[in-house]
Structure 1
Amino acid sequence: MTQSPATPLPTPKERRRLREAKSLTQAQVAAKVGVTRETVRSWETGRTSPRGRKREVYARLLTELSSTPERTPAHDGRDRRAHRRPELVAVAASSAPPADRTAQTAQPNRAGRADPSKPRHTVSDPAPEPEPTRPTTPAEAFDALYTRTAPLLVRQAYLLTGRRTLARESVERAFQLAWQRWPEVAVDPNPAGWVRAAAYEYAMSPWHRMRRSHRHPDAPPADPDDRKLLDVLLSLPPAYRRTLLLYDGVGLDLPETAAETEASTPAAANRILHAREAVAEQFPELAVPEQLHRRLTELAGAEKLDAPGSTLVRTGGEKRVRFWTRAAIAVTVLIVGTTALTLRVAPTQYEPVPAPGAPISGVPALTGPGHLTEHERELRRQLRAELSGGPERLAPVAE
């Protein structure tokens, strides 16, 4: 008997986005499905996947969440306690990007992508524009995604790290990883966001501090204001810097920013508020979100940062995969050979090792005849000499 196919589910990232868009907590979703909060968290992180009846109920709930109109966190009952802090309410209410951006910036829509009908932004991710011919092969689709998003991602990575070489390397590694997992990336609702998250993770990895090139800082921007703004951005904690760039630079809304940074919506809002305050201390004119957005755009566009060709990225990723595959095979063969040699030369039975000698107490000293001293030898010679001249030996006689 054949099994019925499993109910299709969105990606783990999309599951969390749908829940955050409806301002539901993991506990509320768990109560609706009939599982624990930890189970819902595992489903949203991709560690586990629902099965059986729970999968059907979860899929039906996600379908309802995607079909119902979205609510902003400012009008949801979950944020009632935010009225104690007007700043958090303002950030939640401004989760949709402002509509009066400058003519050079793109207008992000509700999904966090740029509107194709308006000018493109130099920092935020571009929206997929209609093409005359659709890609027919995976390589063509990858090249189209790379050509459209790589230059912008390099500028974003530069704002995160302040290092030009690391920014290019981060984007290159992210696209190499995307090419390795292309079947997964191709069906993702937002492939550009998938690559952006991978590039940000690599760029902000703390392991880069151990590299020799990290000891010497890059040349700062030529403009003094740009140099000062970049220093302020780099002085922020990594999580605050990334959240500020996603919200005020890329133009994502608050739920998507929280989902990409793996934080709750209130936590993401607090990070944005504190980051804006830190920037406004040095640049009072950037207290307005629109001005901050414009300055981030100008700072990213001032650097002449280019990305390598998509063909080089694909071939480089394939070479890297082949190298590590061969290295893994060589290590496996070495381990198998060492194990076989050990089994061949190892003894077939246990041979006990003789115990080392140890002194024993309480045993009396060995007694018995020993070597004669010189004095004793002299006395023996005297006795033998005297006996030789003595009386004869008496022998018994029978009568």
Structure 2
Amino acid sequence: MTQSPAPLPPPKQRRHLREAASLTQAQVAERMGVTGETVHAWESGRTTPRGRRREAYAKLLASLTKADMVTNTQEAAPPPQVTVCLNKKPNPRRAVSAPTPAPITPTPITPAPITSAPITSTTRTPATRTPASTSAPVAVAAHGPVPASETEPAPLTPLTPAQAFDALYAFCAPALVRQTYLLSGRRELARESVEQAFQLAWQRWPEVAVDRDPAGWVRATAYEYALSPWHRFRPRYRHPEPPPADASDRALLDVLLTLPAPYRRTLLLYDGVGLDLPETAAETEASTPAAANRLLNAREAVAARLPELANPTALHRRLAELASAERLRAAEPTTVRAGSERRARFWTRAAVAFTVAIIGATALTVRTAPTRYEPPVPPGETVQGIPPRSAPGTLSDAELKLRAKLRSGILHGPQRLIPLAE
């Protein structure tokens, strides 16, 4: 008899329970033994845990549900009335009940998806809520209680598109530059790929902002640009860049660059970034068996030349060390947004100019084109039965006499030549 899987709450409720317990995705991932990207995928509904991880995750959510119910019950209880007497001297021996802790007001966080970015020297942790002090003072006025409008916190304004873009760029760009460096082996190309990806994201921000994984959208765009084969025809990329200073780093980078582009990308996503196999297959636009085959072949190729990296854990650590050894800095988000807007204006003006040129050429053609149809001259036809025209030859004596007679008989004036009877 098969056992039914443990029930799980909806994805939105999973995230609510984690935030209510003041836990980050990294903390939940550490408890479950997975990566932060996997926890983010569970909370967004893209994937669902299975087997023992599903049972452990269900137990964790159940405990968080109980803690949330207890917290809500305490918040729903009315606070004790504290009476302050202004005319009598308070008795110090009289026991005074401790004030009720103030309810915790969660700070809203912009829903920017958090991806696991182990390939970076400094990993930024997501923002967490700061709980209020457990001993908040009770507001008491001399003439009565303080109005509720004066004690409630002011509502927070939502982030503007520029602020949300800057937050996404600040979190993803440093790690993404290092990842694209491992893909291409060129520092300038890595920076350019990230800038191009974020410029395209800013141009399509209404689409990227509502995407389930904006960081994944930008990462896929940067990888596609970095692995484009057309870069080999650019003059600035015909000469190789200086390799890393360390010999082991040079050997690992050479092995990565010898791998085919799909294998290199799959290896970096799975063993470098830490994505699951289905997520890696989806981002590389391949099936799960194909992604698994690419991963195994890439690992075998790396282990054949570097046997000490046959263990995936050691390979992940070395990839992180290689990426962190290079001083790769991304541009400022304001510069990227300005470049994106400048590029959009340029292409818009080019499109307008091209459209005007097409309209002008069409108007000129209509103005100068003939208004009626003129049939073309048919080609000549050969007429049968007529002898070919011969060239004039030497005149005979009779012809010479006839010519002299005709010339002597021509009269000058309006008279016409009339044949005479002889």
TM-score (norm 2): 0.60
- Indicate the residue corresponding to 1:193 in structure 2: 216
Give the residue type in structure 2 aligned to 1:129. A
CA distance in 1, matches of 2:403, 2:177: 113
Gaps of 5+ in 1: 1-9, 11-64, 76-110, 385-399
How far has the Cα of 1:210 moved from its partner? 2.0
| 1:85-96 superposed matches below 5 A | none
TM-aligned CA deviation for residue 383 of structure 1 = 11
The corresponding residue for 1:24 is none
Q: 2:249, 2:337 → 1: CA distance?
A: 34
- 2:278 aligns with 255
Alignment partner, residue 70 of structure 1: 49
Provide the secondary structure at the position in 2 that maps to 1:355. coil
State the AA in 2 paired with 1:375: D
Equivalences, count:
279
Q: 2:395 aligns with which of 373, 380, 384?
A: 373
- Partners of 2:282 and 2:329 in 1: how far apart? 29
Q: 2:397 aligns to what SS in structure 1?
A: helix
| Pairing of 1:237-252 with structure 2 (within 5 A) | 237-252=260-275
Identical positions, percent: 62
1:355 corresponds, among 378, 383, 398, to 378
Matched, 1:130 2:153: no
Cα-to-partner distance string for 1:228-257 (whole Å, 9 max, x where unaligned)? 110100000100000000000000011111
Query: Is the counterpart of residue 324 in structure 1 residue 343 in structure 2?
Result: no
- The Cα shift of 1:123 comes to 7.7
Distance 1:264 1:70 in 2: 20
1:210-225 correspondence runs (5 A)? 210-225=233-248
Matched, 1:233 2:256: yes
Distance in 2 of aligned mates of 1:326 and 1:267: 44
What's the offset of the Cα at 1:193?
1.1
Question: What's the CA shift string for 1:43-84, capped at 9, x where partnerless?
Answer: xxxxxxxxxxxxxxxxxxxxxx94995337xx9xxxxxxxxx
CA distance in 1: counterparts of 2:360 and 2:46, whole angstroms: 59
Letter in 2 for 1:348: T
| CA displacement 1:243-301 (0-9 Å, x = unmatched) | 00000000001111111111111111111110000000111110101000000000000
Deviation at 1:377, TM superposition (A): 3.8
Q: Identify, as 1 or 2, the structure richer in helix.
A: 1
AA aligned opposite 2:269: L
Q: 1:205: how far off? A: 1.3
Counterpart for residue 26 of structure 1: none
- Aligned partner of residue 211 in structure 2, secondary structure: coil
For the 8 Å contact 2:165–2:202, the answer to whether it is kept is yes
1: distance between equivalents of 2:334 and 2:404? 115
Letter in 1 for 2:295: I
User: Residues 296 and 349 from structure 1, CA distance in 2 versus in 1: closer, same or farther, beyond 3 angstroms?
Assistant: same
Q: C-alpha distance in 2, partners of 1:366/1:276?
A: 89
Q: Given the alignment, which residue of 175, 185, 209 partners 2:198?
A: 175
> Which residue of 2 is the match for residue 202 of structure 1?
225
The answer as to whether partners of 1:247 and 1:257 remain within 8 angstroms in 2 is yes
Question: Does the CA-based 8 Å contact 1:113-1:126 persist in structure 2?
Answer: no
- Once the two structures are TM-superposed, the CA of residue 350 in structure 1 deviates from its matched residue by 1.0
Q: 1:338 to 1:198 in 2, by over 3 A?
A: same
Report the equivalent of 2:293: 270
Q: Structure 2 matches for 1:91-170, cutoff 5 A? A: 113-114=115-116, 122=120, 128-130=126-128, 136-170=159-193
User: What is the CA distance between 1:180 and its match in structure 2?
Assistant: 1.2
**Distance in 2 between residues matched to 1:67 and 1:223, nearest whole Å:** 40
Are residues 1:341 and 2:320 paired? Answer: no
Task: State whether residues 115 and 215 of structure 2, in contact with CA within 8 Å, keep that contact through their aligned partners in structure 1.
Answer: no
How many Å separate the matches in 1 of 2:329 and 2:170?
A: 11
Contact 1:154 1:167 in 2 (8 A): yes
**Cα distance, 1:160–1:382 mapped onto 2, change above 3 Å:** closer
Amino acid in structure 2 at the alignment position of 1:142 = F
Aligned residue in 2 for 1:4:
none
Is the 1:150–1:171 contact (alpha carbons within 8 Å) kept by the matching residues of 2?
yes
Structure 2 gaps, min length 5:
1-10, 12-43, 55-112, 131-155, 407-422
Relative to structure 1, the CA distance from residue 231 to residue 124 in structure 2 (aligned partners, 3 Å threshold; closer, same or farther) is: farther
Alpha carbons 1:113, 1:252 under 8 Å: kept:
no
Residues 160 and 241 of structure 1 are in contact (CA less than 8 Å); yes or no, is this contact kept in structure 2? yes
Q: Would you say the 8 A contact 1:162–1:234 is kept in 2?
A: yes
| Cα shift at 1:167 | 0.5
Residues 248, 112 of structure 1: alpha-carbon distance in 2 compared, 3 angstrom cutoff: farther
Kindly report which structure 2 residues correspond to 1:47-86, keeping only aligned pairs within 5 A, or say none. Answer: 66=45, 69-71=48-50
Q: Distance in 2 between the 1:182 and 1:382 partners? A: 103
